[in-house]
Structure 1
C-alpha cells in the first residue's frame, strides 16, 4: 500500500463559498503562490468563465510558473447535449489548466430532483464528459457529489456512478460527503468496500464539516484506502466549512506516517494558515489545532512547571514541526514557573525560589483579580516585570488630563483632550482634537512627548478593544481596555482597567508609549541611547 497522499487544495474555489470570504484575482494569485510554496500538489483555482475574477486568475496564474497543478472546476455536460459542444467543458479546456475537476451526481435523489433527468442519462453525462476531456489530453478528477448519501440510499447506483467514471478514464474519483452528515465509522466502511471492489481506481476524499467531523472523516477515508485528500486552508467553506488541511496534513505526516508535503515544507504550515487568514480578512480562531496562537499555550502553573522540564508532558508534538511555537501565559492561574519562563523570554533572570519572585507573582494575581489580563498584553507585563526587577526609570510623569466632548445641533461630536506632563523636568501642556475621546488623548499625549522622543512619530494605535467586566453594574461597571500599537516593523499590546473607560484607556496608552521607549527608560541608558527596537516583540 502506498504511503504517499496527494493534497488537493480548494481554498480558492470551495473555500470562497464560506460566508464573509471574498477574494480578488490578486488575492487568489497571492494565495496560490503561498500554497505552491507549501508544497500542495493540486490547487483548484475556480470556475473558468463564470466570473471576471476567475477568468483573470486562470489567465495570470500561468505566468507564475508554479509546481502545483492548477485545476479548473466544472460540471458534467448538460442533459440532452453533446460533450464536445458543451460550453462549460469548452471553458475548462480554454482555461489552460493542467487538470480538470468535474462534478457529477452520485445520489439518485439528486438526479431526479436537481437534474430532473433519468439515472441512465446521468451516467451518460458522466461518461461522455470525462471521456471527452481525456481525449483532449486533460487529467480529470471526478467529484462524485453526495456520494455517501447516495451510497446509503441506493448503493447499486452510487457504485455504478463510480464504475462509469472509472471506465471513462478518470484519473481520480472523489467520494464527496457534500452535506457533511456522514460519521467516521460509516466513511471507513464505505471507502473500504469501494476500494476493494474497484482496486484499479484512484480514490480521493472530499468532506464537509457540518457535524464537525470533516477532519476525522478524511483521516478515516485515508485509512480505508483513499490516496488523495481535498480540503481548504483553515477549513474555509460553505455552511460549517470544508475539511481543514491545516489539521489533516500534520496528522497524516506526523501521526499516521504518510508522505504529504514533507517535513521541511510542514514547517511553513502556520505561516501559510495565517497568511491566508490575513488575505481573506478572517480572524483565525486562537484555539485552532496545530496552527492557532493558543495551540501550544500554557496557563496553569503545574502545566508550565512540567513543560519546562519536558514539553512532551503537555504537548502532543513539537510546535516548531508545524512552524508554531510554545507560549506561556501569565494570569491568576500562574505559578512561579510561568513568571520565570516569561522573564527568561524577555532576557530577565528571576530566581523561582526567591521572595522577590513570589512578590511579583502575588502582584500579578492581585492585578488579574482587579480585572487586568496579561495574556493579551505582553507589553504591559514586561513593563511590570522590569519595574519589579529594578530596571526602569521614568522619562515622564503624569500631572493631569481633561476631556472636552461637545455636541451641537447639526454638527458632529468634537472631542478635545488637554494633557499636562512632566518631561525631563519640564512641564509640558498640550491640547489636541480627535475623532473620539481616546483618539484625542492619544494625539495629545503623543504631541507632548514627540518633541522629546522623535521615534514616537513611527508608532500608531492599530486596535482598540473595550470589555465590560461587571455587566450587572451597568454603566458603573469596571472595564478593561486592550490597545495594540505598531511601528514600522513591530506590534505590542497593553492593558488598562478602571470604572472609567477614559482612565482605563489612558493607562493602556501610557504603557504603550513607555514600551515604545523601553530602551530609553531602562536604567543605565542615561545618555538616551536608542535601543527601542531591541525591546519590542511581535505579538
Structure 2
C-alpha cells in the first residue's frame, strides 16, 4: 500500500488562543512553539494574527528569532488580512515569512460583511498576494466560512478556487468556521474539490461545535485532504477546534493509508503544559489526555487484564507516554488492589487482601478518594484493627467548636456490652473527646495511658480530601505503644486511633 503523507498544522497559538480568557505571554508562546516543532514534530505552526497588539508583535519576534536560528522559519505562519499589505508590513517587522491570508469563502460573508462583489474581492486578494511575493512572503489562503459556502453558494466557491489556481500560493485552507459540517458533507465537499483540483494542496480546518471535529477531519482525509489544522487540547473559540491527540490517534489506528509524523509519546506532555499555561483544565474523561482515560475502575476489568489483557485495546497508554492505572473505590475488586500493591512492591495473603478490599469499598461508599499512595496507610490501619478482639466501641459522638466557647464533646461508648455516655469540654475537640472518655473510665476506676506524642500525615501528593493518618504514642506505666487511625477528617482519625488504644488496654 502506498501511504500518503499529510501535513499537520498546529494552530494552538493562534486559533487556540481565541479560547475565552486565554492569552499566552511571549515566553509561553516561545516555549510551546519549541515543543510543537522539536518534540511533538508537527509540520507547521500558526502562532498569531497580524496587527493584534504590541505584545503579540513581540511574541512573534521571539518565536521567529528562535525559528530562524534552527531552520524552522518556513514552518511558522501568521494569519493576515486583505488590507493592501498592512499585515505584510507587520509580518516583516515580526520576522515572519509565511502568511495565512484570510478571505471570504462564502457569498454570504462576502456580500454582508465586506459588501464586495467577487471580482472586487479577487482583485484585492491578487494585490496582497503580489505584494507578498515581491517581499519574499509565502502565501496560504483561508476561505473563511467555506463550509457554508459549499452548502449555499457552491458556484462562488468554485469561481474563487478557479481564480486561486492561477495565483502563486502554496496552500488553500478549507475551514468549517462555525463547526456545522457533518462527516458525510466533509467527505463530499473535499472530494468534489480535490477531484477538480488534484494538484493543489488543500488543508482542512475543523471546529467542534457538534463534537464532530475528529470525525470530519477523518472524512476529509479519506476524501483527499492534504493537511489538517489541529489544536492542543482542542482549544479554540466556542467548542474549540479538532483536538490534536484524538485526531492523531484516529489517523494512526484507522487510516493505514495516511502517514503523519507527529510524535505520539509527547502528546500528553505538551497537553499538560498547554493546560498549565492557558488555565483551561483538561476534562478528566477527555480521550487520550484526560486523567481518567487509562484508569480501570471496575474490579472485573482489572481481573480481565490479569487474564490475557481482556480489556486492552490498541489505545495503549504507553503510546502516549502514560501508564495504566487501577482506581480504588467502591467498585474495586481484589484484582484492582493487587495491581496497585504490585506497583508499590507489597504483597498480602488472601485473608488480609479481603480485609483491605472491604475497607476500600467502605471508603468509596463515603465518596472518599482513595489513591495508590493511601494503600500502605489503609493496610496498616486494617491489619492493626484485627490484631485484637474488639471489646470497646465508640458508638457516636458530637463535637462542637464555637467562637467564644470552649470546645465540647458528647460521646457514647460501649465497654464489654455496657454502654456509657459522657459530656466534657477541652482546649480542642480532641481534648474534649479525651476528657469525656476519661470521665467514663474514671467511673470504672481505670486509668488511661498518657498521650505523649501525636502525629498527623497524609500520603505524598494527596489532595484536600485525602485520607489522613493520625499516629498517637501512649505510655502506660513504663510501656510505650502506638496506635493509628485513618479517616479523611483529622479529628475522626485521632478518635479511631484512641478507640484502638482502648481495646488494647482492655484485652
| Partners of 1:184 and 1:217 within 8 A in 2 | yes
| Partners of 2:64 and 2:94 within 8 A in 1 | no
Query: Which structure 2 segments of 5+ residues have no match?
Result: 388-397, 406-426, 435-448, 469-485, 497-507
* Map of 1:285 onto structure 2: 283
* Map of 2:58 onto structure 1: 56
Q: CA deviation at 1:248?
A: 1.1
Find 1:294's aligned residue among 288, 292, 295: 292
Q: CA deviation at 1:159?
A: 1.5
Separation in 2, partners of 1:483, 1:20: 35
Separation in 1, partners of 2:495, 2:194: 65
In structure 2, the residue corresponding to 1:267 is in which secondary structure?
Answer: helix
* Map of 1:29 onto structure 2: 30
* Map of 1:275 onto structure 2: 273
Q: CA deviation at 1:510?
A: 12
| Partners of 1:107 and 1:147 within 8 A in 2 | yes
In structure 2, the residue corresponding to 1:268 is in which secondary structure?
Answer: helix
Tell me: CA distance 1:160–1:18, structure 2 relative to 1, closer, same or farther (3 Å): same
* Map of 1:41 onto structure 2: 43
Q: CA deviation at 1:63?
A: 3.5
* Map of 1:336 onto structure 2: 334
Find 1:427's aligned residue among 441, 446, 452: 452
Q: CA deviation at 1:170?
A: 1.7
Separation in 2, partners of 1:462, 1:389: 22
| Partners of 1:48 and 1:58 within 8 A in 2 | no
| Partners of 2:340 and 2:372 within 8 A in 1 | no
In structure 2, the residue corresponding to 1:311 is in which secondary structure?
Answer: coil
| Partners of 2:204 and 2:225 within 8 A in 1 | yes
TM-score normalized by the length of structure 1? 0.72
Q: CA deviation at 1:43?
A: 1.4
* Map of 1:366 onto structure 2: 362
Separation in 2, partners of 1:280, 1:483: 31
* Map of 2:204 onto structure 1: 205
* Map of 1:219 onto structure 2: 218
Separation in 2, partners of 1:355, 1:268: 42
Separation in 1, partners of 2:385, 2:99: 63
TM-score normalized by the length of structure 2? 0.76
In structure 2, the residue corresponding to 1:92 is in which secondary structure?
Answer: helix
Q: CA deviation at 1:297?
A: 1.1
Tell me: CA distance 1:463–1:380, structure 2 relative to 1, closer, same or farther (3 Å): closer
In structure 2, the residue corresponding to 1:313 is in which secondary structure?
Answer: coil
Tell me: CA distance 1:332–1:426, structure 2 relative to 1, closer, same or farther (3 Å): closer
Deviations 1:386-440 (A, max 9, x none): 44467999xxxxxx99856469xxxxxxxx9787699x98636xxxxxxxxxxxx
* Map of 1:383 onto structure 2: 377
* Map of 2:78 onto structure 1: 72
* Matched positions, count: 428
Deviations 1:39-61 (A, max 9, x none): 11211111233212211111112
Q: How big is the alpha-carbon RMSD for the aligned residues of Structure 1 and Structure 2?
A: 3.4
Q: CA deviation at 1:460?
A: 10
Tell me: CA distance 1:392–1:259, structure 2 relative to 1, closer, same or farther (3 Å): farther
**Is 1:89 the equivalent of 2:88?**
yes
Separation in 2, partners of 1:273, 1:105: 32
**Is 1:260 the equivalent of 2:254?**
no
Deviations 1:227-278 (A, max 9, x none): 111011000110111110111122223432333225xx22111111111101
| Partners of 1:100 and 1:140 within 8 A in 2 | yes
Separation in 2, partners of 1:126, 1:236: 29
Separation in 2, partners of 1:309, 1:268: 30
* Map of 2:194 onto structure 1: 195
Query: Which structure 1 segments of 5+ residues have no match?
Result: 78-82, 394-399, 408-415, 429-447, 451-455, 465-480, 485-494, 498-503, 512-539
Q: CA deviation at 1:336?
A: 1.4
In structure 1, the residue corresponding to 2:168 is in which secondary structure?
Answer: coil
* Map of 1:471 onto structure 2: none
Q: CA deviation at 1:2?
A: 5.2
Identify the range of structure 1 (16-25 vs 131-140) with the bigger mean alpha-carbon deviation.
Answer: 131-140
Q: CA deviation at 1:299?
A: 1.0
Q: CA deviation at 1:281?
A: 1.5
Deviations 1:120-174 (A, max 9, x none): 1112223332333233222222111111110110111111222322321221111
| Partners of 1:166 and 1:173 within 8 A in 2 | no
* Map of 2:239 onto structure 1: 240
